[in-house]
Amino acid sequence: MSTDFQKIREIASASLMPDFFAVRIDEEGLHEQLRVLIAKIKAPTPIPGLTTIQQIAGECADSTSFIEGIKGKNLWSTLRQILTRLQVK
């Protein structure tokens, strides 16, 4: 598992609030890695909200606007679960 993904997973796990997640991702310089990671997710079974999360990630230039989009669609819990439970090969 890449160190960037591991760090994103740790931040997601520790972030109870989406705004905290966005700040930490920006502080660590991981926004672009997060966008790439989200774009590459292909689940064997459909995950409700994943397509919307991928669309928001593709449209946002920074972590703050990404999180605002996630909060606007009420997808923070889904995003956090995906990032903390995702198995990377």
pLDDT of residue 89: 60
Average pLDDT in the chain: 91
| Domain limits for position 59 | 3-85
Q: How many domains does the chain have?
A: 1
pLDDT of residue 16: 92
User: pLDDT for 9-25, tens place per residue?
Assistant: 999 999 999 999 999 99
Rounded CA Rg of the chain: 12
Stretch 66-77: mean pLDDT: 96
pTM: 0.88
Contact between 7 and 31 under an 8 Å Cβ cutoff? The reply is no
SS3 category, 30: coil
